[in-house]
Structure 1
Amino acid sequence: MTEAPETDQTAFSDLGLDPRVMGTIEKMGYETPSPIQAETIPHLIAGRDVVGLAQTGTGKTAAFALPALTHMAADYDAGSLGSVPNTLVLAPTRELAIQVAEAFASYAAQLEGISVLPIYGGAPYGPQLAGLRRGANVIVGTPGRVIDHMSKGSLDLSEVKHLILDEADEMLRMGFAEEVDKILAQTPDTKQVALFSATMPRAIRRISEDYLNEPVEVAVKAKTTTGTNIKQRFVFIKHHAKPEALVRILETEPHDAAIVFVRTRSATEEVANKLIARGFRAQAINGDIPQNLREKTVESLKDGRIDVLVATDVAARGLDVERISHVFNYDIPLDTESYVHRIGRTGRAGRSGEAVLFVTPREKRLLRAIEKATRQPVEQMNLPTVADVNASRLERFSERITQTLSSEDLEEYSDLVTSYVAEHNIPAEDVAAALVAMVHEGRPLLLDEQGEDELARAAAQSFDREDRGGARDRGARDGGPRDRGPRQKGAAPVAGAGNAIYKIAVGRRDGVAPGHIVGAIANEAGLSAREIGSIEIRPTHSLVELPESLTKDQWGALAKTRIGGELIRLERDAGPHGTSGPGRKNSDGGYRGGKKRDGFKDDRFAKKTGKKPRWRDR
């Protein structure tokens, strides 16, 4: 096993990537590959199988995506790419699948004829089936949904050339070992395989031995740290509300100068223009700006003519301005090294600094990766309210009046006001109010309370630390689904407050383990670890504690959920004296009791056919 070197000497241009891929990552601000990228990309481009031991946030998505796209670009030029799946990426959660698919699409921006399709649980089949019929070169999916499409005949993996297992240890911990084996078995033996995992348990070693051909093993150890004089906070916010959240923080927190980091060049202009429209002295800086203008912009930041700089990573590289008190990660970085470099722009020369990170619902795992890599917690902050903003505006307005009164010769202006008051018989305070309105050019001095509720909905006020990793954290936290204490053998579990007990039609005879249930329900229904309670696996079925009020969409998603190829047929448990089995549909899309299971008929059916008994109507 080789350990990826921690050096900045290698450049992306040295790795043998396709020129069109290079052009895209240069526009995105990529310059120096991370250790995992520098070590794995040459091996993958050379066609070798790779096992990468790396934590989330080390840049591994680009490590496997860029070489795969380089190979696909060559196939496209040769006319051999077609519209069938060429690359398959398996990810443990739908959030990760979405992120990886978005990254692939971004990296492929300059490549013609290459399409990317995410397929994951908890989403309708229709759009995914339509996408598969149109043809997709890159499929990024969760194991359960990939198996479903394979069983439907809508996903053909017979021509896959590149297969990537992302966060393989998480997939196995969530109970997807059987699905991963089935998927790998349906792909060509000649495929190239890249396996990325944070750890190397025995199950991962087995997959490597069974399915990879003399793989190169690369290990990356996260050694990133952040300054202790930098206070790190995060805001949990939906993407569309970021501009308003940024403005409110800038308006209410005392700051000298600030850098706002975004991912793309176009975003620098967009965010800077929004800040300028709100009265801030802001300027964009990106790779399109000539060096001489960049230097002038930095000088303006140093001498106070600019207070907010909106920048990409590359544009801000080497920037050293002592007056920077705040760094905003408006777009969360995809690797922890970039995060550390970004927030290092504040807290210079022994000063204290503030680092604020905007996290969207899809990006919880990236926040968790940053905390894990830097070994420092990032504190959640509440967004300033309308009352906070208005109080700050009134205070600044009062300070401006006081400063003007003490520093300016106002005799001429005072005479004008006195003359106007005498001529028009209007109170002096009304004239002063009119002058304030003139200064603000029709813009209101204070915010309207109506915007409060909308921003509150876009920001989560209770973002539990234990929930940052989603359902995947359950095994690490307590070894599996929690139990609410001992109970008599055969007694039904008791649900906690706000929860209910549900029955699913798979049990011990189906080889079901708690991890299978947690993984399937969490992915399909979008539930977090804290929302899945006790699990009791019985011979023919299982009992699961879930929220009492599942939404219509969650009922619909779980109605189609399979574990080991079997529908789980979710229904509310009626207890030992009630009826069981799949009942009639409720108005919310779920099922209620009303059908019985005929044990004698099931046993006779099993002996006659050799098949497992199934739920059926009497």
Structure 2
Amino acid sequence: MSESVTEFRQLDLNETLLSALDSMGFTAPTPIQAASIPELLKGRDALGKAQTGTGKTAAFSLPVLNKIDLAQHKPQAIVMAPTRELAIQVAAEIKTLGQNIRGLKVLEIYGGASIVDQMRGLKNGTHIVVGTPGRVKDLINRDRLHLGEVKTFVLDEADEMLKMGFVDDVTWILEQAPETAQRVLFSATMPPMVKTIVNRFLRDPARIDVAGENRTVSKVEQNYWVVKGVEKDEAMSRLLETEESDASIVFVRTRQDTERLADWLNARGFNAAALHGDIPQSQRERTVENIKRGVIDVLVATDVVARGLDISRVTHVFNYDIPFDVESYIHRIGRTGRAGRQGKAILLVRTNQIRMLHTIERVTKSAMEEIQLPARDKVAECRVNALAAELEADKESSSLTAFTDLIAKLQETLGVDATTIAAMLLKRQQGKRPLFYQGADPMVAAIEREKNRRSNRRDDDRGSRGSRNERGGERGGERGGERRTYNDADFDTYQLAVGREQGVQVKDIVGALANELGFTKGAIGAIKLAPSHTYVQLPKKMSAEVAKQLKELRIRQNETKAVVVEGVDLSRDNRGAPRGANRDGGSRDGGRGGYRGNRENGEGGRPRRDGERRFDRNRGGNSHRGSNTGSAASREPRSEG
């Protein structure tokens, strides 16, 4: 049926909804809407596979609104979303689609806002509830949210919801649902947890798959810059100043980096604000409103809180940190290019993350163009042009007369001409954003050094191969230079109550320690991954706050219950052979030793014979945890890719 539907008026929607769609300028449904709406209007359970930007919110909202009974003031539909921001966004879109339905009440319920106000809203009556699973469950338990009249349950972005640890809450809520209620689930991917929910709770669902028709990527111009020559903070500053943008979202991995980068940008004259999960909900809502009104121009955010943001001003998305997976990337760039507008996305990628870049290109079926970072002189030129534009707007101002008189007085007082006074004022006005640079751009020199280093490495490699051939192929020496060493006495060995049985990989361990606890490159020792637990070396000296966070650390929604253990030798395997050695005492991997990481994402490519995988911070050459480029604050683990 979806192939023949070219207009909303071909669907069995009532006139109030059609008039609202007409007033919004929507006449033709998207593929997911054309395929979903007829099935949902029949009351069938449905499983929709669709990514952001495909119009799925309207796909389930229009059928829900079409059968609302305004005389019934108990909730008739429950829509669950993974985040507060997405719940707010979905509720706002439902209200917009139902703008011509007199007396329609839509209530958002989520954590971080007053539960008393939400209980009052339920008591006063509402037709549709949009909320997060935790708060929905809480209000059901408090006997304030009654499900007796609910006709439809919707799980929006189910994969993200379950990934965030809501599987128990979602399962419990669906168990409370009336047997006759329609169940609708939308998800971008179908991991095992989602399939389990589908098989248990959906009854002969209509299966709608338009994931391949996502138009988000096609509406966004995508570029990438390989991190080299300057720190990422400086790179962000140059890009923000030289790109012709209105408002921008900068995506980072951690809550700490949102605050740090936003402060750094503000100190350099940008109107920036941080947005992450620890910020009170009221402040987060003010921040979003401020970027919509133009009070701020740059939003530095984590993935989760940015889900569902629809801000028309956003022309650019900057991926300061490369995302862990392709779906997150698609969600990120979907924050621009909204409502038919063209957007632009720029990804900052380290050399050890190029494989992830190619994975994104392959899955999204798009090619990113590499760009070069603007030189300092280009940045200064843009600043001068911006200053000229501001002065152009002021040159007809009626209030200039008083300042003209002041210039004449200053000339007499200082004994200099008007041009010199103007130069003095411009010098003061530039602040920390100079209109002229002196000396060579460090980026140019660094790029030249990188070229020379690679050339020298190739020469060394050729020489090393020749030496090995002369030795009859002898192996076991260090490749790429002297091996780094560290002192075991500076580290404690911790046992974490997670392992491969919980789906944990080395990259999860390193990512959690770096992103959640802020451990830098040199602060993580060897890692030994086993089926039910993991051993990891961490510094003996850590602050009380970090030690407290370590005890509360969760990896893949599992408590790690970190405890210090003794007598575990991470330098030797279960057979007593030195790490990286075979039974004859030779090296199994060219003498590099320890856990052999995958350069794309830090995972182990080769399982050890004893069933365990190791990460060894002693490896020479390319470190598992990251590049030395940039300041300590901007260094990232190798596992990011």
Q: TM-score, normalised by structure 2?
A: 0.43
Q: TM-score, normalised by structure 1?
A: 0.45
